[in-house]
Amino acid sequence: MLEIAKRTSQDLSAREWLLQVAAKLFAEKGLEGTSVRDIAKVAGLNLSLVSYYFGGKEGLYREIIQNFALTIKSEVEKIIRISEAEETSKENLEKVFMMMVSSFSEIRSVYPYHGIILQRERLTGLPFARDIYETTFTPIGQSLVKLIGKAQVKGLVRKDLNPLLIFIFLQESILGFHNIMNCQLEMMQSPMSHAQNFKDFQKQLVTIFVQGIFI
């Protein structure tokens, strides 16, 4: 489980504090809408430290994405190791899906600003973080696709389905849920939506993927 802790400038180094403050500002205003002066002012630090630690605003922005990407990679690699230690089975694959939903949801709740930043970056075509995405997310994505492919070879997954698309649909379903929750729409507050119950969301999503929606 990820460690969740409230942090302040008193228990963080100047570098870490800049990363935390900048993540909030970038999430709220975007990269272009946030200045180095804004970051330094909110952090209560000299603006020269942004250049000293990160080489400028874009370097700071990239490091925020890099750190977030490595956190996701670490969690997904744990899931892959657990899966590889067990025999390929429907139960194992279902457990992998459940752990993916749980880990992605937990990471988004712990790092809400980072999730918004990465989502905005993806929507604009990864102009500042394509290399980070390719070197961090692509390998773990390929590992999960391979896992689904192994289950397909064993006759556990339909052969007419593309393993890559299965992975993409699952990933985007998780991210899409959190993105729509950030919009705080009235529909998502309804008891009928089960939107406030993340455990139920996890179960519902995996059930839809594994069993489908038809009786």
Q: Does 11 have pLDDT greater than 60? A: no
What does pTM read for this prediction?
0.88
What residues does CATH 1.10.10.60 cover in the chain?
7-55
Which pLDDT does position 180 carry in this prediction?
86
Average pLDDT over the chain, rounded to an integer: 90
Which residues of the chain form CATH 1.10.357?
A: 62-211
Q: What angle do CA 83, 166, 199 make, to 5 degrees?
A: 65
Fold of 7-55: Arc Repressor Mutant, subunit A (1.10.10)
Structure tokens at 61: 């922005």
C-alpha–C-alpha distance, residues 183 and 202, integer Å: 20
| Alpha-helix runs per DSSP H in 33-157 | 36-43, 48-54, 57-84, 90-110, 112-123, 130-153
**Mean local confidence (pLDDT), 34-49:** 97
CATH number of 62-211: 1.10.357
pLDDT band for position 188 (cuts 50, 70, 90) = confident
pLDDT at 34: 98
Distance of CA 162 to the CA centre of its chain: 23
Mean pLDDT confidence for 143-154: 96
Say what percent of the chain tops pLDDT 70.
91
Average of per-residue pLDDT across 61-80? 97
> What per-residue confidence (pLDDT) applies to 6?
42
